[in-house]
Structure 1
Amino acid sequence: MRYGRSTREALEHLVGGLGTACLAFAALLWLILVALGCVVGVGLLFVPTALRLQRFAADRERARLSRWGDEVVSPGPAPGRWRDAVADPVARREWRWLLVHGTLGLLLGILGLALPLNAVRDGTFPLWWRLLPPEDATSSLGFPVVHDWVGAFGVWALGVAWVAVAVGLGPAFARTQAYPGRRLLPPGADLDLALRVAELTATRAAALDAHAAELRRIERSLHDGTQNRLVGVTVLLGAARRALARDPATAEQILSRAQDAAEQALAELRTVARSILPPVLADRGLAGALDGLAGTCGVPCRVEVDLPGRCAASVEATAYFVVAEALTNVAKHSGAAHAVVTVRGRDDLLSLTVTDDGHGGADEEAGSGLTGIRRRVGALDGTLTLTSPPGGPTTLRVELPCGS
């Protein structure tokens, strides 16, 4: 199963790379023609078009590589003149990428497309070879000409060999095809630093917004709930004191009501305190806290936690609240029969996944709490990915840096 999945993914990568390799070949050919035209002055008119086509091809490869691994960020608009392009290190690296990907990448992409086609053709050859004209009854390589069943099963054996090549060498071919893009297309250090500063600025703003929203929530909870109940306790105690001398029985009833109100106020205070930093995290750790959430979830939920040790309190609190909000959404909106929470720790990164088998269609714009989750995650410089096609399943994946 593992080999089949890796082979399928490798062939998908190779065929996807074939598309960008065709673009790279076309951009390389056009650049060469424009450069030759510049010798006589005609090509100068087409320089901006050639450079835009170069950037377009490179950006398609950046997008392809980002879907299969770490994001490769585009440097932005292409230069408009030869002089600017020559002075731009990103453009110069793109020229090298065009040369390699437009030749070697194209060859590997064609091979990635040919491998499954040849495997299917030769693997099924014994089923239909007798329907062919005698001179056309050959393998995918064009030889030998098959005259009997022995030759037909020899071609079938070649189909099996094609499958073996795809399984054994397909992943290596895919890595080789992607290597020039991974090596040459990322932005330079200056641009990467600028993007990082912009990302951290946005993250800081999101953290401040999340903090302000949390303070407003706590203030609203205290004002609308606990404070009103404490005011009620004060009023009841005053009434009980006035009634104590003239009607002790009534005073007893009022004191009982005041005690109930005080207990409710205390319960609400505990709820607010738990919403700030649940004590269960300190007492039982993240695994125990998530088990508690799963036990109170309205949908049967399984929790799998594999952490090498404790993370920072802020990271554990964020993970706890993300799971709490996600399970609330599952119970209220998904129509799911089952949910799974998976937490893994690796390479100073906490990875959290919540999956349900509901009807899907989750939308951040629908007010389902996903925006609040994203703000919490962004405040710790984490990432959130939501996959929820109509019909389900829904998968919420969060990654949080947890340091050492």
Structure 2
Amino acid sequence: MTTRDTVAGAAGFKEIALRVLREARAAVAQLAGGLGTAVPALALLLLAAGAAVTAPLGVGLLAGRAVPRALHALARRERARLGRFGPEIVAPEPPPVRLRAALADPVTRRELRWLVRHTTAGLPLGLLGVLLPVAAVRDCLFPLLWPLAPADATSTSLGIGTAHTWPEAAAVALLGLGWIAIVLGLFPALARLQAATGRRLLAAGPETDLSLRVAELTATRAAALDAHATELRRIERSLHDGTQNRIVTVTVLLGAARRMVARDPQGAGELLERAQSAAEQALAELRSVARGILPPVLADRGLAGALSGLAAQCAVPCRTDVEVPERCAASVEATAYFVVAEALTNIAKHSGARTATVTARARAGRLRLRIADDGRGGADERGGSGLAGVRDRVAAHDGTLTLASPPGGPTVLDVELPCGT
């Protein structure tokens, strides 16, 4: 085996190890997040059971009215949580909140089924997702803490066994390594199991889902066509007002120089110098237009390098934090590049900010961008800042854009795009 093969094998192993660690970390976060909705689900289930038992006596009537509202709010929270760790769940039409109508509503019935299943399955899985990593850290570090522990203290996180010698303390660390192996190997599957019930029961029904999806695709298609037309007008304007005029100037100067070359060689030379300067300016403008269509820096340096270049060129000191392990689709990267470029241009022109930050993360098939500044705030899409065009460009990819810019600042622009393939 050559040195090159050894290096390639080590790089491949490192990439696999990093991918396993990322998946395990995301699974721990997802299971812990599921615990955050499973505990309220248990409380709501107990409240609903109590209201059902005491309803004939009239005692639980008031609580029974509050149950549908709380159930719908918890279901919305679970949809948002699952959307952060995977494909977005399309919500159904707002279900009724009056008790009698809610009990007859199919959406509410599915939410009740999710409530029971998430309480019985999601709660134990969430507890496991929180307690097992803690146990792994505790047992792995036990040999370091053993000399400080009381003589009769339990050694393992299981609550059994007492270490009296260094080999016994090291055995506890081996148990901790076993917990880590379980976290790395099984937690991604457990996270998918915890989320499966919510993805199946909390999504819109087939008819509603299809109609909503058709409406969304119709809107995004219109936005894509508008964004495409706007981009074509920009390119045409750049070529007509800039490059074309330069080339016409070159043609006129070359014709005048050709006529003067015999009778006034010096004047013809000056005209040729002016023609050369105009040709160079036309070439620079053509390159600028080409970069505006698809920046070559994306192909050369990737999204991280392209965003770092934009931050370096920004008039406001800008820090970048990019974590995109894999390449997204070329059109998605181009959209992300133009979104950041437009946002930084607005910051430099209008915000009066001292610093800016660009953050990019790729998680669960989604590319999330955040551009923030400490300026005066008050940004408005209707103010001609280019944000409306940015929203159309993002909508063309079925993405989302959220702007928070209260008067006095700060301004935060959040964009989420599907990574594509």
Q: TM-score, normalised by structure 1?
A: 0.65
Q: Does 1:166 align with 2:147?
A: no
Of the three residues 191, 210, 216, the one matched with 2:227 is 210
Of the three residues 298, 313, 319, the one matched with 1:332 is 313
Matched-pair identity in %? 44
Contact 2:242/2:282, CA 8 A, preserved across alignment = no
The aligned residue for residue 316 of structure 1 is none
Q: How does 1:239-258 map to 2 (within 5 A)?
A: none
Secondary structure of residue in 2 paired with 1:136: coil
Partners of 2:95 and 2:321 lie apart in 1 by 49
Partners of 1:167 and 1:226 lie apart in 2 by 57
Secondary structure of residue in 2 paired with 1:361: strand
What code does the residue aligned with 1:95 have?
A: L
The aligned residue for residue 128 of structure 1 is 145
What code does the residue aligned with 2:157 have?
A: S
Contact 1:352/1:398, CA 8 A, preserved across alignment = no
What code does the residue aligned with 1:186 have?
A: A
The aligned residue for residue 314 of structure 1 is none
Structure 2: gaps of 5 or more residues: 1-16, 345-354, 359-370, 373-378, 403-412
Contact 1:225/1:265, CA 8 A, preserved across alignment = no
Partners of 1:222 and 1:171 lie apart in 2 by 52
Partners of 1:377 and 1:164 lie apart in 2 by 40
Secondary structure of residue in 1 paired with 2:300: strand
Q: How does 1:392-403 map to 2 (within 5 A)?
A: 399=418
The aligned residue for residue 111 of structure 2 is 94
Partners of 2:131 and 2:233 lie apart in 1 by 61
Of the three residues 75, 78, 87, the one matched with 2:92 is 75
CA 1:264–1:399: 2 relative to 1, 3 Å: farther
Contact 1:28/1:98, CA 8 A, preserved across alignment = yes
CA 1:219–1:157: 2 relative to 1, 3 Å: closer
Contact 1:351/1:397, CA 8 A, preserved across alignment = no
What code does the residue aligned with 2:357 have?
A: G
Structure 1: gaps of 5 or more residues: 279-288, 305-321, 387-393
CA 1:360–1:36: 2 relative to 1, 3 Å: same
RMSD: 5.2
Q: How does 1:293-372 map to 2 (within 5 A)?
A: 293-294=296-297, 302-303=300-301, 329=310, 332-333=313-314, 352=333, 361-362=357-358, 363=371, 372=389
Q: Does 1:187 align with 2:185?
A: no
Partners of 2:238 and 2:154 lie apart in 1 by 80
Measured against aligned partners, the alpha-carbon deviations of 1:268-295 in whole angstroms (never above 9, x if no partner) come to 8x949976997xxxxxxxxxx76xx23x
CA 1:200–1:120: 2 relative to 1, 3 Å: closer
Q: How does 1:143-158 map to 2 (within 5 A)?
A: 143-158=160-175
Of the three residues 14, 23, 26, the one matched with 2:40 is 23
Contact 1:48/1:79, CA 8 A, preserved across alignment = no
CA 1:188–1:396: 2 relative to 1, 3 Å: closer
Contact 2:311/2:320, CA 8 A, preserved across alignment = no
CA 1:179–1:399: 2 relative to 1, 3 Å: closer
Partners of 1:160 and 1:276 lie apart in 2 by 51
What code does the residue aligned with 2:125 have?
A: L
Partners of 2:138 and 2:132 lie apart in 1 by 10
Partners of 1:127 and 1:104 lie apart in 2 by 36
Of the three residues 20, 34, 43, the one matched with 2:51 is 34
Partners of 1:95 and 1:303 lie apart in 2 by 50
The aligned residue for residue 318 of structure 1 is none
Of the three residues 33, 36, 52, the one matched with 2:69 is 52
Contact 2:319/2:356, CA 8 A, preserved across alignment = no
Pair member with larger Rg: 1
Measured against aligned partners, the alpha-carbon deviations of 1:288-325 in whole angstroms (never above 9, x if no partner) come to x76xx23xx9xxx7346xxxxxxxxxxxxxxxxx99x9
Task: Report deviation, 1:18.
Answer: 1.0
Task: Report deviation, 1:104.
Answer: 1.4
Partners of 1:154 and 1:277 lie apart in 2 by 61
What code does the residue aligned with 2:92 have?
A: P
What code does the residue aligned with 2:333 have?
A: L
What is the number of equivalent residue pairs in this alignment? 352
Q: Does 1:175 align with 2:175?
A: no
CA 1:35–1:12: 2 relative to 1, 3 Å: same
Task: Report deviation, 1:89.
Answer: 1.9
Task: Report deviation, 1:180.
Answer: 1.0
Secondary structure of residue in 2 paired with 1:352: helix
Contact 2:125/2:194, CA 8 A, preserved across alignment = yes
What code does the residue aligned with 1:169 have?
A: L
Task: Report deviation, 1:138.
Answer: 4.0
Measured against aligned partners, the alpha-carbon deviations of 1:329-372 in whole angstroms (never above 9, x if no partner) come to 45632868999997556xxx96537789x986254969897764
Contact 1:343/1:350, CA 8 A, preserved across alignment = no
Contact 2:52/2:60, CA 8 A, preserved across alignment = yes
Contact 2:227/2:393, CA 8 A, preserved across alignment = yes
Contact 1:221/1:272, CA 8 A, preserved across alignment = no
The aligned residue for residue 309 of structure 1 is none
Task: Report deviation, 1:80.
Answer: 1.5
Measured against aligned partners, the alpha-carbon deviations of 1:145-172 in whole angstroms (never above 9, x if no partner) come to 4444454344333223222222232222
Secondary structure of residue in 1 paired with 2:333: strand
The aligned residue for residue 127 of structure 2 is 110
Contact 2:95/2:105, CA 8 A, preserved across alignment = no
Partners of 1:273 and 1:159 lie apart in 2 by 57
CA 1:35–1:264: 2 relative to 1, 3 Å: same
